[in-house]
């Protein structure tokens, strides 16, 4: 599906242009306006055959802006290698790349914040065909539902933990489960 690849830059541009409109109202009520995070993680898909392994490694970059108290608009860009078990469906050297835009609501606890987010994304699954050896690529739009936990280290830094489920209409597998942990910087 060629449209997801060509609309991916448009999705990023639209989100970037919308961010300044949300910042002024939220900045007066929170200690920070923006958050940038770098996370490493594991995950995979249970509906690929073969390839139902959740031990694949990847990374995720997060950027969010406070839109209202305890409400964030987040952009997540990630990549996951999907061939730990020696192949992923009919692909070798498979790799999932995604970009999601999601609204997140945070709940304050005594020493951390938990959150839930829901959003839309663009997904690309690429790899080498096991039979022909040719490079194959499949792109699609999809959705994401996730849970976060943020543990404050200092006023500007925190440890961020995320678990997410992704759905995208890709040929090899449609449901992906990911878990990430990393550092977030608030400014």
pLDDT tens digit string along 132-185? 989 999 999 999 999 999 999 999 999 999 999 999 999 999 999 999 999 999
Instruction: Tell me the domains of the chain and their CATH numbers.
Output: 2-186 (2.40.160.20)
Q: Show Cβ contacts of residue 127 under 8 Å, excluding neighbours closer than 6 positions.
A: 82, 83, 88, 91, 92, 93, 94, 95, 135, 136
pLDDT tens digit string along 16-54? 555 555 544 444 457 899 999 999 999 999 888 765 688
């Amino acid at each position: 599906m060629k449209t997801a690849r060509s609309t991916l830059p448009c999705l990023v541009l639209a989100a970037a242009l919308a961010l300044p409109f949300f910042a002024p109202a939220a900045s007066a009520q929170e200690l920070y306006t923006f958050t940038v995070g770098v996370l490493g993680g594991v995950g995979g898909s249970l509906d690929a055959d073969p390839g139902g392994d959740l031990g694949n490694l990847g990374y995720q970059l997060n950027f969010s802006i406070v839109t209202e108290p305890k409400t964030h608009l987040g952009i997540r860009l990630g990549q996951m290698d999907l061939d730990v078990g020696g192949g992923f469906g009919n692909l070798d050297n498979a790799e999932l790349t995604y970009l999601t835009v999601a609204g997140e609501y945070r709940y304050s606890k005594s020493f951390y914040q938990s959150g839930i987010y829901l959003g839309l994304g663009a997904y690309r699954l690429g790899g080498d065909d096991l039979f022909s050896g040719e490079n194959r690529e499949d792109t699609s739009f999809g959705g994401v539902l996730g849970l976060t936990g943020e543990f404050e280290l200092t006023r500007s830094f925190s440890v961020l933990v995320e678990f997410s489920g992704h759905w995208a209409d890709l040929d090899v597998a449609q449901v992906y489960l990911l878990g990430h942990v990393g550092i977030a910087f608030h400014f």
